[in-house]
Amino acid sequence: AQTVTQSQPEMSVQEAETVTLSCTYDTSESDYYLFWYKQPPSRQMILVIRQEAYKQQNATENRFSVNFQKAAKSFSLKISDSQLGDAAMYFCAYVNQAGTALIFGKGTTLSVSS
Amino acid sequence: EAGVAQSPRYKIIEKRQSVAFWCNPISGHATLYWYQQILGQGPKLLIQFQNNGVVDDSQLPKDRFSAERLKGVDSTLKIQPAKLEDSAVYLCASSLIGGGKQFFGPGTRLTVL
């Protein structure tokens, strides 16, 4: 069975600084997708970034980028120039090529200070 | 483009009562998911629909939970009777196809007393 592990329950960063959130996963499949979702206190789950496993190039969305290491089954999220609005719970998630439901990690709470 | 709609946003009930949640996915999205998110944890799938057929309900406690998706659009999730451990946020999500980007609704926070 596939699993997703986020080993950092909490992280903190100062405004304008850079922070990296870690995620590891376990799967025997070769084709799959990985995601980072942001969940602010409003509970709305917002897609931050998506990575296809067959692509070697790391995905980037403005200030958000990932470091995808397929052999190591590692998928970290880097947030550059952190803003107060980035404060939220961040979830790493996996879905296989067949399109089953997302498997989530337990999340990392990110706090941003001014 | 309208997002995923859910109602109600909050619900408080006594244990052994019944409750129902409603979800309207993004127009044209064939796949609909119900997730349960207990405080401090990541969401876990309860049931996945493809159009109006069930793809995966292996983690749905079928003795008390039921769900349907009539006409392949709206969906309802019901709990009867509720237990204290059902207190959670219930998230509905939809995607064009299974495996595609999933878009989430605002969730329903259920408190069982």
> Which chain A residue has the Cα nearest residue B47?
A101
**Which of A37, A12, A21, A38 lies closest to A112 in space, CA to CA?**
A12
Predicted confidence band of residue B113 (pLDDT cuts 50, 70, 90): very high
A84 φ, ψ to 5°? Answer: -55, -35
> Which chain B residue has the Cα nearest residue A42?
B106
Predicted confidence band of residue A84 (pLDDT cuts 50, 70, 90): very high
Using the predicted structure, report yes or no on whether residue A5 has a pLDDT greater than 90: yes
Q: Strand pairing partners for A33?
A: A52, A95
The structure tokens listed for A99 are: 């399109």
Segment B13-27, tens digit of pLDDT: 999 999 999 999 999
Residue in A33, A96, A106 closest to B42 by CB:
A106
Using the predicted structure, report yes or no on whether residue B87 has a pLDDT greater than 90: yes
pLDDT of residue B1: 62
Three-state DSSP class for A31?
A: coil
pLDDT of residue B98: 66
User: In this predicted structure, which of A103-107, B42-46, B63-67, B98-102 has the lowest mean pLDDT?
Assistant: B98-102
Exposed e or buried b per residue across B85-94, where buried means at least 16 C-beta atoms within 10 angstroms of its C-beta: ebbbbbbbbb
> Would the CB atoms of B106 and A91 count as touching at under 8 Å?
no
Segment A87-99, tens digit of pLDDT: 999 999 999 877 7
Distance CA B54, CA B68 (A): 9
Predicted confidence band of residue A101 (pLDDT cuts 50, 70, 90): confident
- The alpha-carbon gap from B41 to the nearest alpha carbon of chain A, in Å, equals 5
Exposed e or buried b per residue across A9-26, where buried means at least 16 C-beta atoms within 10 angstroms of its C-beta: eebebeeeeebebbbbbe
- The alpha-carbon gap from B100 to the nearest alpha carbon of chain A, in Å, equals 7
- The alpha-carbon gap from B5 to the nearest alpha carbon of chain A, in Å, equals 11
Q: Which residues of A touch B (CB under 8 A)?
A: 4, 33, 35, 37, 42-47, 50, 91, 93, 95-102, 104-107
Using the predicted structure, report yes or no on whether residue B100 has a pLDDT greater than 80: no
Segment A27-80, tens digit of pLDDT: 998 889 999 999 998 888 999 999 999 888 999 999 999 999 999 999 999 999
Residue in B93, B99, B109 closest to A99 by CB:
B99
pLDDT of residue B99: 65
Sequence-distant (≥ 6) Cβ neighbours of residue A13 within 8 angstroms? A19, A79, A82, A86, A110, A111, A112, A113
- The alpha-carbon gap from B99 to the nearest alpha carbon of chain A, in Å, equals 3
> Would the CB atoms of B43 and A45 count as touching at under 8 Å?
yes
Residue of A43, A50, A90, A97 to mutate, interface with B, max B Cβ within 10 Å: A43
pLDDT of residue B70: 82
pLDDT of residue B101: 83
> Would the CB atoms of B56 and A50 count as touching at under 8 Å?
no
